[in-house]
Amino acid sequence: MKFFIDTANLDQIKEAQDLGILDGVTTNPSLMAKEGITGKDNILQHYKDICELVDGDVSAEVISTDFDGMLKEGEELAALNEQIVVKVPMIKEGIKAINYFSNKGIKTNCTLVFSSGQALLAAKAGATYVSPFIGRLDDISTDGMNLIEDIRTIYDNYMFDTEILAASVRHPMHINQCALMGADVVTAPLSAITALLNHPLTTSGLEKFLADYNKGNK
Ligand code: G3P
């Protein structure tokens, strides 16, 4: 399973990259705004800075909601760096744009996916990645993990190449469950990724090993 980090924060991206487990980055307009990155030029420069930091795919989201606007924006984003994946919302115009980008060899991430039918359409259109938002489904008392399972089944039934990129991940159990369900990629905040490191028996076990070593080496 690939690990992406879901942030536009360069320090956090660097920290995940330094762990040696990072395969890519996802961003969205809200995450860019959270870092105070505003204005087209600053946003484009920020994408370039992220690409410099990591080896893998970097999702950059279009703002347009019409077909022509998405094409113009997507082509501009894709020209920044070959690592860029054009992130397109799951709407009618978005599906048409994904099909266009797919035919041109431009990688895409279909975002704001909340049903397996939407994921089926994204795959038919040729999306590189599909982003089901599991946390936001959990927020409305719907089990987001069922969606990952359903999409996995559908994609396996027809051998779609589209990768399931589980998004809106909130905690380490989401990551564990996605791995069990066979998601291809999880994008998560740094806190959820580093939380995977922790177990109280690891902490206490290490303390005892070090204490015993120090007793014998006084
Ligand atoms: O990048 C999209 C997604 O991961 C958003 O997560 O926490 O805002 O639902 P969240």
Which residue has the CA at smallest separation from atom 10 of ligand 1?
168
pLDDT of residue 218: 74
Q: How far apart are CA 139 and CA 172, in angstroms?
A: 16
Q: Is the pTM of this model over 0.75?
A: yes
**pLDDT of 182-216, one tens digit each?**
999 999 999 999 999 999 999 999 999 999 999 98
Q: Whose CA is nearest to atom 8 of ligand 1?
A: 168
Cα 89 to averaged position of ligand 1 atoms, centre (Å): 13
Cα(30) to ligand 1 centroid in Å equals 9
Residue 67 has pLDDT above 80, yes or no: yes
CA-closest candidate to residue 88, choices 62, 125, 120:
62
Which ligand 1 atom is the nearest neighbour of the CA of 28? 1
How far away, in angstroms, is 4 Cα from ligand 1 center? 12
Residue 216: predicted pLDDT: 84
Task: Kindly report, residue by residue over 150-180, the tens digit of the pLDDT.
Answer: 999 999 999 999 999 999 999 999 999 999 9
pLDDT at 41: 96
**Is 80 exceeded by the pLDDT of residue 57?**
yes
Q: Are 86 and 107 in contact (CB under 8 A)?
A: yes
Task: Report the first-to-last Cα separation within the chain, whole angstroms.
Answer: 45
CA–CA distances in Å: residue 91 to residues 28, 72, 73, 124, 131: 16, 17, 16, 14, 13
Q: Which of 136, 138, 170, 187 to mutate to test the pocket of ligand 1 (most atoms within 8 A of CB)?
A: 136
Question: Atom 5 (ligand 1): residue with closest C-alpha?
Answer: 168
Residues with beta carbon inside 6 Å of ligand 1? Answer: 6, 26, 28, 133, 135-136, 167-168, 187
In the set 40, 48, 72, 87, the catalytic residue is 87
CA 122 – ligand 1 centroid, Å = 18
Q: Output the pLDDT for position 2.
A: 98
pLDDT tens digit sequence for 83-138: 999 999 999 999 999 999 999 999 999 999 999 999 999 999 999 999 999 999 99
pLDDT over threshold 80, residue 42: yes
Told to judge if 215 belongs to the known catalytic residues of this protein, a careful annotator would answer no
